Amino acid sequence: MSEKQPNNPLHGVKLADILSYLVEELGWEHMADEIPVRCFQFDPSIKSSLVFLRKTQWARDKVEALYLELIQQDKPSDKASHGKYNTRKR
């Protein structure tokens, strides 16, 4: 059952890690703008967001899509592009 999935960039990535990455890169406010769900808008926390996302597939799909878009931008060939999410707090 531990087959490699080279075409699945989410294989082996935990939802908690995805959420932590998005919070670090974008912040809760920007995430709430992109995906308007209450767990991002009002008193957001990793724990409450994980509970919601594990129960709500459409929201999880949007979070995963946002994550994939960001990691695609982080590839070295895309560093010079000025995409929608290049608003890093670094």
Q: What is the pLDDT of residues 26-57, one digit of tens each?
A: 999 999 999 999 999 999 999 999 999 999 99
- The more confidently predicted of residues 10 and 37 is 37
Q: Work out the mean pLDDT of the chain and round it to a whole number.
A: 85
Q: What is the pLDDT of residue 77?
A: 57
Rg, C-alpha atoms of the chain: 14
Residues in the chain: 90
Determine the pLDDT at residue 86. 56
- Region 13-33: mean pLDDT is 95
Q: Where are the domains of the chain?
A: 36-75
All residues at 6 or more sequence positions from 18 whose CB lies less than 8 Å from its CB, including other chains? 10, 63, 64, 67
